[in-house]
Structure 1
Amino acid sequence: MAFKDLRDYIEFMRKRNKLIEINEEVSVDLEIAEITRRATYNHLPPLLFNKIVNFEGWRVISNIFYSIESFYEIFGTNRLESISEKFISNLSEIPITFIDKLKSLKDIIGLGKIMPRARSPNFKEDYFMNLAKLPAIKTWPKDAGRYLTFSITITKDPDTDIHNLSVYRIQIINEKEAIVHWQAFKRGSITARKYLEKNITKIPVAIVTGVDPVIAFTAASPVPHGLDKYMFAGILRGEGVDVTKLDNQILVPSHAEVVLEGYVDLNDMRLEGPFGDHMGYYTPPDYYPTFKLERVYIRDEPIFHVTSVGKPPLEDAWIGKAVERIFLPFAKMLVPELVDMNLPEYGLFTGIGIFSIKKYYPGQAKRVMMALWGIGQLSLLKIIIIVDQDINVHDINQVMYAIAAHVDPKRDIVIIDNALTDSLDPSVPSPPLGSKLGIDATRKFKEEMGKEWPEEVKSDEKIAKKAEQILSKIIKKYQSS
C-alpha cells in the first residue's frame, strides 16, 4: 500500500489503535527526546505530541519506526525481502550490469508508474516563518543546541539531475542559518563536490520535514549511487511520489508538512556539535557547511517529524533491520553466494555484520568479505563475520559456536588498516580512517587447513527416532502432572 502523506499514515495508525496522542504540554528542550527514547525502548507505537511549549499551532510526531513491526505495517508484509524480490524479478532476463539495469529501468521495463509525478503542493509560503520558529528538538543535555533530527535534505546532481534525499542532523544557528552534518562519503557531500568542480559554491538545497514514512525510510536508506531516490521510493511504494519543483529547481514531496528552500554555502564552514548520536556518545565538534534559508513553506496545522538517538535499539536500529531485509536481494545480485545477512540492532548498523554463504572453494569467505566492503553502506562495516549456509545468522549462539569451532585466529582473521569507517565511531583515532576486522567462521577446505576437516557427529537415524518417541511420551506425562 502507499500512503498519500504523513497524515494518511497517522490516520491509518489511529484506526488501528496504534497511535499514542500526548495532550500534556511538553518542551522541545530534552523532554520530547526523553519521552521518545523511553517509548522506543518499550516498543510503543508512534507518539503524537499535540501541545508544544512555546510552539503554538504545531504538533510533533516521533517514534514512527518503533520496531521491525512498524515496517510490516507500513509495507503491508512481514517478509520485507519480497518487496525487492518482486522488483528484481522484472530485471532477471536483461543481460546488463546491475547499475545499468537500475539506471535504465524506465525505458527497459516501462516502470513509468514509479517515477515522480508533478503535482500542485499542499503547502504554501509562510513569509513570517523561520528556522528558530520550528519545533526542532534538543536531544541530550550537552548538545550544541536544537537540531532537525528527521528532516530530509534534498540535493540534485548537477550532471544527471538525479535527486538525492538523505537524513542528516542539522543544527539550527539562528533564524536563517543552520549547519548540515553531511560526512565526506555521504551522497549530499559527494554532490556538493561535483558543484565545486564547476566552481559553484552555493549548492541548491531543500530541507523537508513530515512526509509519508516510505519516503522517510528511503531517505535514511543506502540506495546505490546513481539511482534517484524518488524512483527508489516509487519502487517501495508501488507508485510514484507526488513532487513540486521549487524556484531553485529542487523537487520536493508535494505533501510535505514543512519545506525549507535555500542553499548550502561551501565557503561558510561552521563548527557543528557536540551532539549525542546513535553510538551513545557525544560527537566532538567539527566543521561543516552552512545552510542559508531563502523561503519557508508549510501546511496548515503542521506536523513536525523528529527522532531521538542514543544507545540501541532506537529507531535507527529498526531502520537498519528493515534495510537489511529489503536490500538483501540486491546484495545477492552482487554477491551470488550470499544466503542471508544480519545487521544486529546492537551492532550499530555499521559496526557488525554477519553473513552466511554457500561455500564452494577455498578462500571464498575472504573474497566475500572484500566484496561486501565494496558495497554502499556495507563498506562502513567495522566487523564482518562469514559463516556457512547452515548457520542461522540471526541466532547469535549459532554464530558464536561457528566462531569458537571453526576459527583459527592466525589463519582466519583479517585486519585491514587505514580503511574508511563510520566517522561517528568513538573508537576510531583518526576518523574517518580506521581499521576493519574480518572473521572467516566457515568450515575449511583442505587447501585452507592443510588437512581434511573432521567429520561432524550425527545420530543414528533409527536410534534417534526411537529416542524421540520415548522422550515425547515422557514430556507429555511430565507436563500433565
Structure 2
Amino acid sequence: MAFSDLREYLNYMRKNGKLIEVDSEVSTDLEIAEISRKATYSHLYPLIFSRVKEFPKWKVVSNVFYSLEGVYDVLQTRDLESISKSFLEGFSDMPVTLLDKVKSLRDVLKLGKFTPRAKKPSFAKSDLKLTSVPAIKTWPKDAGRFFTFSLTITKDPDTGVHNVSVYRIQIIDDERAIIHWQAFKRGSMTAMRYKEKGITKVPVAIVNGVDPAVAFTAASPVPAGLDKYLFAGIMRGEGVGVTELDNGIMVPSSAETVFEGYVNTDELMDEGPFGDHLGYYTPKDLFPVFHLTKSYSREDPYFHVTSVGKPPLEDAWIGKGVERIFLPFAKMVIPELVDMNLPEYGVFTGVGIFSVKKYYPGQAKRAMMAIWGLGQLSLLKFVIVVDSDVDVHDLNEVLFALSTRVDPQRDVMIVNNVLTDSLDFSTPSPPLGSKIGIDATRKFKEETGREWPEEVTSDPDVQKKAEEIISKLKSRYLPS
C-alpha cells in the first residue's frame, strides 16, 4: 500500500495508535527540536505539534523515522530487501550497473508503473513567505531557523532527470535562503552543469510535507543519473503524482507547501553554524542563495521537520533502512558481497562492515575498492571486510575477526587525499581526507606465506550429549 500524501500516512498511524499529539504550546526556537530528539532516543511514535507559538495555523510533524519500525511503517513492509529484490528480479539478465539496465526499450516499459505521472495538485498559489513557515532552530548556537526535512528539487539541463534531495536550508528573510548542498551532492553537480552552459539562475523548488516514502527516497543515496522520482516509485510500488511548476520543475502534487524559485550560482553567502548529525557544529561556509518567486500551499498545512545530533536519531534509522534496501543493488555490482552493516553510531558515512565470500587472495582489498566506488559508500572512512561466516551485525563477532585474522602491517590499507564527508571536521582539509580499509578475512597461503590454521570444532556426538546435559542443568538451576 502506498500513501497518497503525508495526511494519509498520519491518518494511518493515528488509526493504529502510533501517533502522538503534543498538546503543550511549543516554540520553533529549540523546543520542538529538543522534544523531537528525546522522543527519537526513546523510540516514541511520530509527533504532531498543533500549538506552535507564532504559527497558529500550522501543525508541525516530526519523528516520522522514530526507529527502524518507523521505516517499516512508511514503506509498509518489514522485508526491506524485498523492495529492490523484486524490482531487480523483473529483469532477464544481470546488468553491469542499474543505469545500463534501464537503457533498453523493454526495460523502460518494465519501469512504467514506477515512473512519475502528471496529477492535479492538492496545493494552490499563496502569498506564503519563507519566514511564514514554522522552520526550526535545533541547537542554541545555530545561525537561525532551518528547513531540516524539506526537499530540494532540481532538474538536469541535459537529460531532464530530476534530483530530489534533503539539504538543510537556512532562512535569511522573506524571499531568500541558503541551500547547503556540498560540492559532490547531486544538487550542486546539477548547478555546475547549468553554469557550464552560461546559466547562473538554476530552477529550484523547495517542497515540504510529502508522502514519507518520497521523503525517505530524497534522503537516500540513489545512484547518480537515475531519477529519484523513479526510485520513489520503486519504494512505493507505484509512481509518484507530480505537477510541473512554471520554472519547469516537477514537484509532488500532494505536497503541503511549495516554494518555487532559483539558485543564483554567482551569489554565495555564509551558511551556518549548524549542529549536524555528527554531534558538532558545522562552522560557517559559503553556499548558494535561493530566491523565492512563487509559493503554493494547502489549507491548514502540516510542516515536516527533523532534529539531528548525536546518534541514533532519525537520520540513523533512515540509514539502516537504506542499508537493507540498497544491499541487493550493491550485490549486483559486487557479486561476492553477502551482507553489510552501517552501524547507527558510525553516522552512516563513518564505518561500514561488509562480509564477502572469499575465493582468491587479495579479494578483500578488491572488495574495499569496489565499495568505495559505490555512490554514498564512497564517503565511508572505515571499511571492514570479513568472511561470510561472520555476522556483520554482531559487533562481538566482528571484533573477534579483527583480533584473530588481521595483521595491521599486512591487512590495513590507508588511502590518502580522497573525498570524504565535508561535515567531517576531523579531516585536515575537508572535503579531502584519508580512509582506512581493514581485511579481517582468513588469509590464503599467497597472502601469508603459510597455510591458515584449522579452527577448533567439537566432536558432534560429544556436543549433542553436552547440550542435553546443559539443557537439564539450566532448567534446574537457572531462573525461568
TM-score of the alignment, normalized to the shorter chain, above 0.5: yes
Shift of 1:92: 3.9
Q: Report the Cα distance in structure 2 between the residues aligned to 1:59 and 1:103, rounded to whole angstroms.
A: 43
Shift of 1:96: 6.3
Shift of 1:462: 1.1
Contact 1:5 1:256 in 2 (8 A): yes
The alignment partner of 2:157 has SS state of coil
Q: Report the Cα distance in structure 2 between the residues aligned to 1:103 and 1:206, rounded to whole angstroms.
A: 28
Shift of 1:72: 1.5
Shift of 1:108: 4.3
Contact 1:204 1:262 in 2 (8 A): yes
Residue identity matched to 1:45: Y
Q: Report the Cα distance in structure 2 between the residues aligned to 1:105 and 1:74, rounded to whole angstroms.
A: 32
Determine whether 1:5 maps to 2:5: yes
Contact 2:91 2:107 in 1 (8 A): no
The alignment partner of 2:173 has SS state of coil
The alignment partner of 1:13 has SS state of helix
Q: Report the Cα distance in structure 2 between the residues aligned to 1:369 and 1:440, rounded to whole angstroms.
A: 9
- 2:256 aligns with 257
The alignment partner of 1:173 has SS state of strand
Shift of 1:97: 4.6
Contact 2:256 2:303 in 1 (8 A): yes
Contact 1:106 1:112 in 2 (8 A): no
Q: Report the Cα distance in structure 1 between the residues aligned to 2:37 and 2:239, rounded to whole angstroms.
A: 33
1:190 and 1:95, CA in 2 relative to 1: closer, same or farther beyond 3 A? closer
Q: Report the Cα distance in structure 1 between the residues aligned to 2:479 and 2:319, rounded to whole angstroms.
A: 44
Shift of 1:288: 0.3
Q: Report the Cα distance in structure 1 between the residues aligned to 2:95 and 2:31, rounded to whole angstroms.
A: 54
Gaps of 5+ in 1: none
Q: Report the Cα distance in structure 1 between the residues aligned to 2:278 and 2:405, rounded to whole angstroms.
A: 30
Q: Deviations over 1:42-74 (max 9, x none)?
A: 000100000110011001000000000111122
Q: Deviations over 1:323-346 (max 9, x none)?
A: 000000000000000000000000
Shift of 1:267: 1.0
1:97 and 1:179, CA in 2 relative to 1: closer, same or farther beyond 3 A? closer
1:166 and 1:143, CA in 2 relative to 1: closer, same or farther beyond 3 A? same
Map residues 72-471 of structure 1 onto 2, 5 A cutoff.
Answer: 72-93=72-93, 97-104=97-104, 107-127=107-127, 129-471=128-470
Shift of 1:394: 0.1
Residue identity matched to 1:133: S
Q: Report the Cα distance in structure 2 between the residues aligned to 1:140 and 1:434, rounded to whole angstroms.
A: 27
The RMSD of aligned alpha carbons is 1.2
1:114 and 1:42, CA in 2 relative to 1: closer, same or farther beyond 3 A? same
Residue identity matched to 1:75: L
Which deviates more from structure 2 when the two are superposed, residues 99-108 or residues 348-357? Answer: 99-108
- 1:33 aligns with 33
Residue identity matched to 1:6: L
1:327 and 1:57, CA in 2 relative to 1: closer, same or farther beyond 3 A? same
Contact 2:97 2:332 in 1 (8 A): no
Determine whether 1:59 maps to 2:59: yes
Shift of 1:242: 0.5
Q: Report the Cα distance in structure 2 between the residues aligned to 1:414 and 1:179, rounded to whole angstroms.
A: 38
Shift of 1:480: 6.7
Which deviates more from structure 2 when the two are superposed, residues 146-155 or residues 92-101? Answer: 92-101
Shift of 1:81: 0.3
Q: Report the Cα distance in structure 1 between the residues aligned to 2:203 and 2:95, rounded to whole angstroms.
A: 37
Q: Report the Cα distance in structure 2 between the residues aligned to 1:241 and 1:436, rounded to whole angstroms.
A: 38
Shift of 1:95: 6.0
- 2:49 aligns with 49
TM-score, normalization by structure 1: 0.98
The alignment partner of 1:265 has SS state of strand
The alignment partner of 1:267 has SS state of strand
Shift of 1:5: 0.1
Q: Report the Cα distance in structure 2 between the residues aligned to 1:337 and 1:294, rounded to whole angstroms.
A: 50
Shift of 1:112: 1.4
Contact 2:268 2:289 in 1 (8 A): yes
Contact 1:90 1:109 in 2 (8 A): no
Q: Report the Cα distance in structure 2 between the residues aligned to 1:64 and 1:287, rounded to whole angstroms.
A: 31
Q: Report the Cα distance in structure 2 between the residues aligned to 1:227 and 1:97, rounded to whole angstroms.
A: 11
The alignment partner of 1:340 has SS state of strand
Equivalent pairs counted in the alignment come to: 480
TM-score, normalization by structure 2: 0.98
Contact 2:96 2:333 in 1 (8 A): no
Shift of 1:104: 4.6
Shift of 1:76: 2.2
Gaps of 5+ in 2: none
Contact 1:102 1:227 in 2 (8 A): no
Which deviates more from structure 2 when the two are superposed, residues 353-362 or residues 459-468? Answer: 459-468
Which deviates more from structure 2 when the two are superposed, residues 110-119 or residues 423-432? Answer: 110-119
Shift of 1:106: 6.8
1:480 and 1:270, CA in 2 relative to 1: closer, same or farther beyond 3 A? closer
Shift of 1:300: 0.2
Q: Report the Cα distance in structure 2 between the residues aligned to 1:330 and 1:378, rounded to whole angstroms.
A: 12
Contact 1:103 1:226 in 2 (8 A): no
Contact 1:192 1:203 in 2 (8 A): yes
Q: Report the Cα distance in structure 2 between the residues aligned to 1:163 and 1:192, rounded to whole angstroms.
A: 12
Residue identity matched to 1:122: S
The alignment partner of 2:9 has SS state of helix
Shift of 1:102: 3.4
Residue identity matched to 1:140: W
1:265 and 1:78, CA in 2 relative to 1: closer, same or farther beyond 3 A? same
Q: Report the Cα distance in structure 2 between the residues aligned to 1:370 and 1:254, rounded to whole angstroms.
A: 41
Contact 2:24 2:51 in 1 (8 A): yes
Q: Report the Cα distance in structure 2 between the residues aligned to 1:106 and 1:210, rounded to whole angstroms.
A: 34
